[in-house]
Structure 1
Amino acid sequence: MSDSPTNPYEPAATPPLPGAPSSGPRQAAMAFILLTLFIDILGIGIVIPVLPELVRELVGEDPVSATMIVDAASIDVSSIDVAVTDAVAASETKSFSRAGRYVGVIGATYALMQFLFAPIIGALSDRFGRRPVLLCSMFGLGIDFLIQGFATNIAWLFAGRVLAGIMGASLTTGNAYIADVSTDDNRARNFGLVGVMFGLGFTIGPALGGLLGGISLRLPFFVAAGLALVNWLYGYFVVPESLGVDKRTAFTLRGANPLDSLRRLADYPLVAALAAVFVCKSLAQRGLENVWVLYTGFKFDWDAGVNGLALGLVGVMAIIVQGGMVRPTIKRFGERGAVVGGTIISAIAFAGYGLASEGWMIPMIIVFGAFGGVAGPAIQSLVTGSVSETEQGRIQGALTSLTSLTNIIAPLFFNTLLFSYFISDQAPFVLPGAPLLVGSALLTASIFIAINVFRRFPKPAS
Structure 2
Amino acid sequence: MTAPQRRRAITFILVTLTLDAMGIGLILPVMPDLIREVEGGTLGRAALWGGILATTFAVMQFIFGPILGSLSDRYGRRSVLLISLLVMTVDYLVMAVAGSIWLLFLTRVIGGITAATQSTAAAFIADISKPEEKSANFGLIGAAFGVGFVLGPVIGGLLGELGTRAPFYAAAALGALNLVFGYYVLPETVTDSIRRPFLWRRANPFGAFRALSQLDGLRRLIFLVFLYEFAFIVYPATWAYFTKEAFGWSPGMVGASLALFGIGIAIVQGALIRPALKRFGERGTIIYGIAFNFTAFVLLTIITTGWVALAFIPITALGAVVTPALQGLMSQRAGDDQQGELQGVIASAKSIAMIFSPLVMTQLFWMFTNDTGLYFPGAAFALSAAIMIVCMITFLGRPQPAS
TM class by smaller structure: over 0.9
Q: Aligned residue for 1:429?
A: 374
- 2:55 corresponding residue in structure 1: 108
> 2:172: which partner in 1?
225
| Structure 2 partner of 1:196 | 143
Match of 1:373 among 320, 333, 345: 320
Change (3 A) 1:131 1:452: same
Secondary structure of the equivalent of 1:48?
helix
Residue of 10, 24, 30 corresponding to 1:30: 10
> Would you say 1:45 and 2:20 are equivalent positions?
no
Per-residue deviation, 1:390: 0.1
Of 60, 64, 71, the residue aligned with 1:124 is: 71
* Aligned counterpart, 1:205: 152
Tell me what 2:100 maps to: 153
- Equivalent-residue separation in structure 2 for 1:292 and 1:25 (angstroms): 39
Contact 2:20–2:145 (8 Å) recurs in 1: no
State the Cα distance separating 1:333 from its structure 2 match: 0.5
Match of 1:241 in 2: 188
Q: Which amino acid in the other structure matches residue 274 of structure 1?
A: L
Residues 218 and 24 (structure 1 numbering): CA distance in 2 closer, same or farther, change over 3 Å?
closer
Correspondence for 2:254 among 297, 307, 312: 307
Conservation of the 8 A alpha-carbon contact between 1:146 and 1:225:
yes
Indicate yes or no: 2:391 matched with 1:446. yes
The structural deviation recorded for 1:459 is 1.2
Residue matched to 1:138: 85
In 2, distance between residues paired with 1:101 and 1:308? 21
- Give the SS at the match of 2:161: helix
| Inter-partner Cα distance in structure 1 for 2:98 and 2:61 | 21
Q: CA deviation at 1:191?
A: 1.1
Return closer, same or farther for 1:296/1:270 CA change in 2, 3 Å cut-off: same
| Fraction of identical pairs, as percent | 37
Unpaired runs of 5+ residues, structure 2, are: none
| DSSP 3-state at the match of 1:134 | helix
SS of the residue corresponding to residue 168 of structure 2 reads helix
What is the rounded CA distance, in whole Å, between the counterparts of 2:146 and 2:350 in structure 1? 20
Using the alignment, how far apart are the partners of 1:314 and 1:306 within structure 2?
Answer: 12
Q: Deviations over 1:89-124 (max 9, x none)?
A: xxxxxx121111111111111111111111111110
8 Å Cα contact 1:262/1:399 also seen in 2: no
Query: In the alignment, residue 104 of structure 1 is paired with which amino acid?
Result: G
**Structure 1 ranges of 4+ moved more than 6 A:** none
Quote the offset at 1:28 in angstroms.
4.6
Q: Partners in 1 of 2:126 and 2:333 — Cα distance?
A: 11
Q: Deviations over 1:285-342 (max 9, x none)?
A: 1232111101111111111100111011011112222222100011001110000101
Residues 195 and 323 in structure 1, CA contact (< 8 A), matched pair in contact too: yes
The residue number in structure 2 matching 1:73 is: none
Counterpart Cα distance in 2 of 1:59 and 1:35 = 33
Structure whose alpha-carbon radius of gyration is higher = 1
Q: Does the 8 Å CA contact 1:279/1:403 hold for their aligned counterparts? A: yes
Equivalent residues of 2:289, 2:319 under 8 A apart: yes
- What is the aligned partner in structure 2 of residue 458 from structure 1? 401
Structure 1 length normalisation: TM-score? 0.84
Q: Residues of 2 paired with 1:43 and 1:115: CA distance?
A: 18
Mapped to 1, the partners of 2:63 and 2:132 lie a distance apart of 33
Consecutive unaligned residues of structure 1, counting only runs of 5 or more, are 1-14, 16-21, 62-94
CA distance in 2 between counterparts of 1:59 and 1:156 reads 11
**C-alpha deviation, 1:44, in angstroms:** 3.8
Query: TM-score, structure 2 length as denominator?
Result: 0.96
1:53-79 C-alpha deviation (Å, 9 max, x unpaired)? 211221113xxxxxxxxxxxxxxxxxx
Q: After TM superposition, list the pairs within 5 Å mapping 1:64-103 onto structure 2.
A: 95-103=42-50
- 8 Å contact kept, 2:13–2:121: yes
Aligned letter for 2:278?
A: K
Alpha-carbon separation, structure 1, partners of 2:102 and 2:65: 24
Deviates more, 1:262-271 or 1:29-38: 29-38
Deviates more, 1:110-119 or 1:32-41: 32-41
Contact 1:288/1:439 (<8 A) preserved = no
Kept in 1, the 8 Å contact 2:12–2:181? The answer is no
CA RMSD of aligned residues (A): 1.6
Given that 2:369 and 2:375 are in contact with CA atoms closer than 8 Å, whether structure 1 keeps it comes out as: yes
Question: Are positions 1:297 and 2:277 aligned together?
Answer: no
Q: What are the equivalent positions in structure 2 for 1:55-66 lying under 5 Å apart? A: 55-61=35-41
Per the TM alignment, residue 24 of structure 1 is displaced from its structure 2 partner at its CA by 6.4
Name the CA distance, whole Å, in 1 between partners of 2:185 and 2:24. Answer: 22
Separation of aligned partners in 1, 2:64 and 2:165? 27
Alignment coverage as a number of residue pairs: 403
One-letter amino acid matched to 2:34: L
**Paired AA for residue 402 in structure 2:** K
1:324-339 → structure 2 map (5 Å cutoff): 324-339=271-286
Separation of aligned partners in 2, 1:201 and 1:376: 16
